[in-house]
Amino acid sequence: MLAATRRLFDESGVRDAQIDDIARAVGINRAIIYRHFSGKEELFALAVESYLEELRGRLEAAAAKHPKDPVARLRAVVAAFVDYGYEYPAFIDCAQTLMRRPGPELIEQVSEGALLRLGRAITSCLRTLTQTLDEGVASGDFHKGDTVLMANYMYATGLGAMQLARIGMVVKESSPGMPTISRISGDQVRDFLVSTAVSLATKG
């Protein structure tokens, strides 16, 4: 059922997907879905879990290429995150949908078991980033600080920046009171995220 949900999200997008669409894709009655999941939010959570399991492998592979250089490793890990988001935009949509809800509200709408699975998947991805930051601090390459908070911040801002990449535009003021739109490429967003992550880690 989750595999069919992911296929639907990847093919049709998250915003327009409804429980009826998921039931149709699986070939079951929608009532059966509600026997297994508390609602669409729980499906989002478990879909994000499956994406994060794949992402973890990408991040670990990127980190393994630079075992002795924390700066190069951080660049590679952030770039791998961005590339995965480009490949699976539904991951970004699902993750942002969950993050829009206050924690207590999410806890009410998603079962304890699903939240536990999601939490484990998130921390498994953040572990690679946190370890990179910790080793950079130990080597003197990175500024000493709260690496857990920094890793969470990079994850959250990365999701937002990926949405900017999807829009492909930035707004600026060409003259006082006159807005104008400029194009921005995915490569520009990737380079910006990588450089700002390194800047944050090195300057604090």
Tokens of 112: 């304890």
pLDDT exceeds 70 at position 161: yes
Domains for the chain: give ranges and CATH numbers: 41-203 (1.10.357.10)
Q: Across the strands, what pairs with 178?
A: 175
Q: Quick: pLDDT tens for 95-116.
A: 887 777 667 776 777 778 888 8
Q: Average pLDDT, stretch 127-153?
A: 96
Q: Average pLDDT, stretch 68-83?
A: 97
State the pLDDT at residue 23: 72
Please report the sign of the dihedral spanned by the C-alpha atoms of residue 16, residue 12, residue 80, residue 198. Answer: negative
Query: Within 13 Å of residue 197, how many CA atoms lie on the same side as its CB?
Result: 34
